C-alpha cells in the first residue's frame, strides 16, 4: 500500500465477447483514471500467470481478431504493480489476465504525489515478480523516466545485463550474443541483486542467464530527482 492512500479491491466484470475462445480463463478489467490522477494496478497470484495491458485501440483489435500483438505483456508473473497516469486527459486501459489474480487498484492525485516526492519521500511506482527457467530470459523494465531507482532481487545466483532496445533487436536477429551484451554494457552483474538509477526516457531490457530456475522481483521507486519528469 502507498502511504496515505487506501487500496480499494474491485473485481471488474469481464466484457461479453472479449474472451479469447482459446483461453477460457481470460478475464478483462477496465481501468479508468481521471485527468490529474494516476491509477496504480496491483495484481497478485499464488501461481505464475500472464497479464496483458491494452489501450483502447489495441482492445478493439483484440475483440475483433483476438490479436495481442504489440501490447504490453507480463509473462509467468505472480505479482504486478503498474501505474496508469492521466496527466492531460482521462485515461482508459484494459487489463487482460490469464489465470486467477487478486486485483487491487489505488487512485492518487498526481500533484499531491509530486509534492511528496519534492519533500523527499520515495514512492513505489512499478514492480513485478517473475519466474525464470534455465537459460536466458528477457524482461522489459517499464515504464522508465529519468531519476527512478530500480532494485532487482533474484532468489538465486544469476548472470544479468541491462541493455537498450537496439541491443534487444540485435540479440533477436542473432547479431549479438548474451556474452557480447554482457561485455558491452555497464549495468550488469553476477549475483542475486542490483540497484541502479535511470538517466533517460527509455525502456530497458534485462537479460538474465541462469543454470537453475529462479524468481526475480524488480521494484521501481520514484524519487525527488524523478519528480520533474513525471509521477
The reply to whether domains 1-121 and 124-231 share a CATH topology is yes
Gap between the Cα atoms of 167 and 155, Å rounded = 26
**Residues of the chain under the 50 pLDDT cut:** 1-21
- Distance (Å, whole) CA 59 – CA 55: 6
Q: Is the dihedral of CA 223, 55, 72, 217 positive or negative?
A: positive
Q: Tell me the whole-structure pTM to 2 decimals.
A: 0.80
Instruction: Look up cell 492521466; give the residue.
Output: 86
> Can you name the residues that pair with 221 across neighbouring β-strands?
124, 149
Q: What would be the CATH architecture of the domain defined by 1-121? A: Sandwich (2.60)
The domains of the chain are located at 1-121, 124-231
DSSP 69: T
The pLDDT score that the predictor gives to residue 231 is: 56
Contact partners, residue 57, CB within 8 Å, separation at least 6: none
At residue 77, the pLDDT reads 93
Task: Report whether CATH 2.40.50 matches the domain 124-231.
Answer: no
Cross-strand partners of 26 = 98
Amino acid at each position: 500500500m502507498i502511504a496515505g492512500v487506501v487500496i480499494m479491491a474491485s473485481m471488474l466484470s469481464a466484457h461479453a465477447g472479449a474472451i479469447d475462445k482459446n483461453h477460457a480463463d481470460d478475464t478483462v478489467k477496465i481501468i479508468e483514471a481521471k485527468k490529474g490522477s494516476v491509477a496504480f494496478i496491483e495484481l497478485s497470484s499464488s501461481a505464475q500467470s500472464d497479464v496483458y495491458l491494452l489501450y483502447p485501440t489495441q482492445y478493439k483489435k483484440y475483440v475483433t481478431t483476438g490479436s495481442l500483438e504489440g501490447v504490453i505483456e507480463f509473462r509467468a508473473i505472480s505479482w504486478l504493480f503498474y501505474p496508469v497516469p492521466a496527466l492531460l486527459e482521462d485515461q482508459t486501459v484494459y487489463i487482460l489476465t490469464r489465470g486467477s489474480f487478486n486485483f487491487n487498484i489505488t487512485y492518487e492525485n498526481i500533484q499531491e504525489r509530486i509534492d511528496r516526492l519534492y519533500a523527499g519521500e520515495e514512492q513505489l511506482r512499478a514492480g513485478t515478480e517473475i519466474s525464470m527457467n534455465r537459460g536466458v530470459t528477457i524482461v522489459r523494465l517499464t515504464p522508465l523516466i529519468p531519476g527512478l531507482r530500480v532494485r532487482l532481487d533474484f532468489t538465486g545466483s544469476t548472470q544479468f545485463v541491462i541493455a537498450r532496445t537496439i541491443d534487444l533487436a540485435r540479440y533477436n536477429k542473432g547479431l549479438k550474443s548474451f556474452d557480447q551484451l554482457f561485455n558491452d554494457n555497464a549495468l550488469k552483474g553476477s549475483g542475486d541483486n542490483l540497484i541502479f538509477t535511470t538517466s533517460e526516457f527509455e525502456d530497458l531490457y534485462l537479460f538474465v542467464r541462469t543454470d537453475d530456475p529462479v524468481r526475480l522481483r524488480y521494484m521501481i521507486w520514484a524519487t525527488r530527482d524523478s519528480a520533474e519528469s513525471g509521477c
